[in-house]
Structure 1
Amino acid sequence: MPSLPAALETELAELLGEGWRSDAAILAAHGGDGSRHRAAPLGVATPADRAQVGALVRACRRHRVPLVARGGGTSSTGAALAGGAVAVSFARMDRILDIRTDDRIAIVEPGVRNGALQHALAAHGLFWPPDPASADDCTVGGNLACNAGGPRTVKYGASRDNVLGLAAVTGTGDIVTVGGATTKDATGYDLTHLIVGSEGTLALIVEATLKLAPLPEARASLRALYDDAAAAAAAVARIMAQPAAPSMLEFMDAACIRLAREVGGAEIAEAGALLLIEADGDAATLPHALDALERAARGAGLRAIERAADDAAGARLWAARKALSHAQRAIAPAKLNEDVVVPVSRIPALVDGIQALAREFDLPIIAFGHAGNGNLHANILYDPADAGQDARAHAALPRLFALALSLGGTLSGEHGIGTAKRGFMRDAFDAPTLAAMRAVKAALDPDGILNPGKVLPEA
């Protein structure tokens, strides 16, 4: 295992003071992420401001020591693993610098937790749309690094759609300021949205100007059961083609429904597919929007449709979706949690293909997620202690990615690439496109010290 040069350790201790540690306890605490893999860093730097981040990068560059930015450590792709590198924790850079209600923006440091930000914004009648399942633990910096989304993406967009500007430190230690506080900008290259989703491989975000939305006055929900995935997908197409935009549009396949009912205890009838539909808006117009969504949801293959009468009823409708996590843990100790995306019209083919893979590899594979974007979570459930199951699960994974790509889709909608999907980038992009990506990487990180071994495959 590589070790940190003594001269660099002395330099970082002088630069960061209590913000530098390399003891066994801190290395262990920062040695894993949501991927459940582990790789101990060489040390953990916790800078207090952007100037320290810049000095930290310059010092590591002089010694050719890589750095890996880290937020809440919730990445499911290994993007936050810092084996053989300095882990850069933004735990001390967690301030909400400004909330400008008139401009509907918030200026924040990268270590602010998503949930904490939402709580602060609610007092002003505002929210930041990205709502990943790990909101209480993940940070804004991490959300931006992987372009996190969530159920509300169908109406409000993902992280990239809700950031206006950034300050970031490149691999040379320079601080660049891109974008700003305006919602229109036709000035120069759009480096803001280039850095978002780059998983810390191009620059370390030290400040973000976020675009906010007003909290809706009210929400209302529908749950629709269908004969099969094709009927549900046709309903999704009808829903997305009419003017009343859903604020959430979630899909569950037959295996999910069965799992939620039989293991999770959800009150739901047997069906081939399910859609959970939510609308939000002002109290006066919301009923009309819900009527429009219900009309669109009706069609061939519909078995039943249920409307929530109040918030409690709405919570009951969503109980099946929320029961999935617990239900999965009850039948398998591990899962490969993928988030492929296909055009909405290809959802039936994706679900059929997933079911075929489940039969071929003799493993439970369930499909659910954000139907309005064609972004489905395909979870391959298995027991890693069973050598046969472990081998079959990892053999099924490339077939899942090949299926999504064959349907005109992509490898990831919101989790990112990290190390888990890095090897499949050659399947998703041709050589000239990957070369262009490497050229961008070389321009912003000429020595390749920012999160090496992530996202881009070896040349």
Structure 2
Amino acid sequence: MPPAAELLTRLRGIFPADALATGEAERIAYSYDNSRRHALPDAVVFPTGHAQVEALVQACREYRLPVVARGRGSNTTGATVPVEGGVVVSFERMNRILRIDPDNRLAVVEPGVLNGDLQKALAPHGFFWPPDPSSAPWCSVGGNLACNSAGPRAVKYGTPRENTLGLRAVAGSGEGFRCGTYTSKGATGYDLTRLLIGSEGTLALITEATLKLTPKPSAIRTVRATYRDVGAAARAVARIMAQPVTPCALEFIDDVALKLAHAHGGDSVPLAGAMLMIEVDGEPATLDGAVEAVSAAARGDGLEQLSIARSAEETLALWSARKALSPAQRTISPNKINEDVVVPVSHLPALVDGIKQLSARHDVLIVSFGHAGNGNLHVNLLPRDEAERERAHACLADLFALVIALDGTLSGEHGIGLVKREFMPLALSPNALGLMRNVKNAFDPDGILNPGKLLP
């Protein structure tokens, strides 16, 4: 019996019945992610426990077959596309919340738990897990960990790296291990937990996560400020982040995005040079003072209007522009290129000004919005035909060069995947990349875990 047939027989022993799929339709369904790139795997497996994952990796290592971990495929960088074939490991059936421990402010979950389902389960206990990407209703915790995906609340509460205590995982060697602690402090050797988070499944497959929980604030207040131009809004962001009250969301929307959203969403979306959406949370007794402190920082040269929501209905109305953005962009370009670059907050004015110049130089429509409190902008290039697509890719290289020149980095929460790996030498020195390759070799000596991703 040839090795491929031997391995298939072995996999059927580990994954009985419908836990192993080799039919073309099933393989096609797991061949792509939200990057719109695709490559057909040889098989798809659906583990329900840690021991199965260990057995799978051991078998695939023996036959040098690639193993690609997958959450729900919402990633935009091609990180879960099986470019070298092999086995896709879909964690959708490992979706149990194993323990919620309010006294110790932690939850233990499997990687397939949806972010939104976790938040619903935590709410009755008065807690939440801070990472809140826009895909929260359908993205998995495992995927959030793989890319260190955060969202608006990261400005105050941090990313998955700051909100994960420990992990259970299987390295590319086929060896299972635990790392981290059940405590909020720990100084015991290397921090493998933070290393695995953001590694995009290239070092190990996460099978369990111990998450750090945060008490839900009693109240949230929303502020919307419009500005004469993007520079004025960017300078306001720097002022807001330089005073003691940290907002729980600080979103930036540029003029091009506002025009698109206005055309799609109507008069509820203001037309302005730029806009900030600001949320402040806390206890009712202190919230008015916190809102006033943030509002005072938001006021300044170039402010046109500042509105504070006093009810849930007003809050929804203020957020209407942000909600209208995605459908508005889809009407312009089905081939949207969505990048999430980051610069120090003080360099945000230079970034938004530079993006305007790149848009004009390459004659490509660019819409910018995102998590301004972290300096994390989502830069959306919207090419409408093949000529614009070519110009957009040249523009992308210039965008990354601009970001690095401003002491920034290539990604805040989308990760590297396939799309950005060629640009990694811009962000990291050869020595740093060499050390990363050594780390990769230690965890995955035969290079079977998610090959072709992250490292150039």
Distance 2:366 2:3 in 1: 43
- DSSP-derived class of the 1:285 partner: helix
Distance 2:392 2:260 in 1: 19
Trace 1:212-227 onto structure 2 (pairs within 5 A): 212-227=213-228
After superposition, the C-alpha distances for 1:257-314 in whole angstroms (9 at most, x for unaligned) are 2111123325243322211110111122111111111111111121111111111101
Q: 1:76 and 2:76 equivalent? A: yes
Computed over aligned residues only, the root mean square deviation of the Cα atoms, in angstroms, reads 1.2
Distance 1:264 1:348 in 2: 27
Residue type of the alignment partner of 2:103: D
User: Who is 1:411 aligned against?
Assistant: 410
Residue type of the alignment partner of 2:12: A
Unmatched runs of 5 consecutive residues or more in structure 2? none
- DSSP-derived class of the 1:131 partner: coil
Distance 2:207 2:348 in 1: 38
Kindly state the Cα deviation for residue 188 of structure 1 after the two structures are TM-superposed: 0.7
User: Who is 2:431 aligned against?
Assistant: 432
User: Who is 2:106 aligned against?
Assistant: 105
Contact in 2 for aligned 1:260/1:266 (Cα 8 Å): no
User: Who is 2:253 aligned against?
Assistant: 252
- DSSP-derived class of the 1:259 partner: helix
> TM-score, structure 2 length as denominator?
0.97
Kindly state the Cα deviation for residue 54 of structure 1 after the two structures are TM-superposed: 0.4
Trace 1:18-37 onto structure 2 (pairs within 5 A): 18=17, 19-37=19-37
Distance 1:435 1:37 in 2: 28
User: Who is 2:154 aligned against?
Assistant: 153
Contact in 2 for aligned 1:266/1:323 (Cα 8 Å): no
Distance 1:363 1:267 in 2: 27
Contact in 1 for aligned 2:265/2:320 (Cα 8 Å): no
- DSSP-derived class of the 2:6 partner: helix
Residue type of the alignment partner of 2:351: L
Residue type of the alignment partner of 1:78: G
User: Who is 1:381 aligned against?
Assistant: 382
> TM-score, structure 1 length as denominator?
0.97
User: Who is 1:91 aligned against?
Assistant: 92
Contact in 1 for aligned 2:3/2:63 (Cα 8 Å): no
Q: 1:318 and 2:331 equivalent? A: no
After superposition, the C-alpha distances for 1:360-380 in whole angstroms (9 at most, x for unaligned) are 222210111001000000000
Residue type of the alignment partner of 1:69: A
Residue type of the alignment partner of 2:74: T
Contact in 2 for aligned 1:264/1:326 (Cα 8 Å): no
Residue type of the alignment partner of 2:257: C
Residue type of the alignment partner of 2:441: A
Contact in 1 for aligned 2:248/2:281 (Cα 8 Å): yes
Q: 1:200 and 2:238 equivalent? A: no
Q: 1:67 and 2:67 equivalent? A: yes
After superposition, the C-alpha distances for 1:338-371 in whole angstroms (9 at most, x for unaligned) are 0000111111111111111211222210111001
- DSSP-derived class of the 2:266 partner: coil
Residue type of the alignment partner of 2:78: G
- DSSP-derived class of the 2:189 partner: coil
User: Who is 2:40 aligned against?
Assistant: 40
Q: 1:197 to 1:391 in 2, by over 3 A?
A: same
Contact in 1 for aligned 2:231/2:353 (Cα 8 Å): no
- DSSP-derived class of the 2:132 partner: coil
Residue type of the alignment partner of 2:189: G
Q: 1:113 to 1:266 in 2, by over 3 A?
A: farther
Contact in 2 for aligned 1:266/1:320 (Cα 8 Å): no
- DSSP-derived class of the 2:455 partner: coil
Contact in 2 for aligned 1:148/1:415 (Cα 8 Å): yes
Kindly state the Cα deviation for residue 4 of structure 1 after the two structures are TM-superposed: 8.2
User: Who is 2:453 aligned against?
Assistant: 454
User: Who is 1:7 aligned against?
Assistant: 6
- DSSP-derived class of the 1:208 partner: strand
Contact in 2 for aligned 1:266/1:319 (Cα 8 Å): no
Residue type of the alignment partner of 1:128: W
Residue type of the alignment partner of 2:404: L
- DSSP-derived class of the 2:336 partner: strand
User: Who is 1:356 aligned against?
Assistant: 357
- Aligned positions, number: 453
Contact in 1 for aligned 2:232/2:302 (Cα 8 Å): yes
Residue type of the alignment partner of 2:256: A
- DSSP-derived class of the 1:414 partner: coil
Q: 1:343 and 2:344 equivalent? A: yes
Aligned structure 1 segments of 4 or more residues deviating by more than 6 angstroms: none
Residue type of the alignment partner of 1:45: V
After superposition, the C-alpha distances for 1:371-399 in whole angstroms (9 at most, x for unaligned) are 1000000000023xx32122112221111
Q: 1:188 to 1:279 in 2, by over 3 A?
A: same
User: Who is 2:270 aligned against?
Assistant: 269
Distance 1:345 1:269 in 2: 26
Trace 1:227-242 onto structure 2 (pairs within 5 A): 227-242=228-243
Contact in 2 for aligned 1:130/1:149 (Cα 8 Å): yes
Distance 2:350 2:290 in 1: 30
User: Who is 2:134 aligned against?
Assistant: 133
Contact in 2 for aligned 1:229/1:347 (Cα 8 Å): no
Distance 1:273 1:374 in 2: 15
Trace 1:273-312 onto structure 2 (pairs within 5 A): 273-312=274-313
After TM superposition, the structure 1 stretch with the greater mean CA deviation from structure 2, 250-259 or 62-71, is 250-259
User: Who is 2:167 aligned against?
Assistant: 166
- DSSP-derived class of the 2:208 partner: strand
Distance 1:193 1:170 in 2: 15
Unmatched runs of 5 consecutive residues or more in structure 1? none
Contact in 2 for aligned 1:4/1:42 (Cα 8 Å): no
- DSSP-derived class of the 2:39 partner: coil
- DSSP-derived class of the 1:284 partner: helix
- DSSP-derived class of the 1:31 partner: coil
After superposition, the C-alpha distances for 1:6-30 in whole angstroms (9 at most, x for unaligned) are 1111100011112111111210110
Kindly state the Cα deviation for residue 245 of structure 1 after the two structures are TM-superposed: 1.2
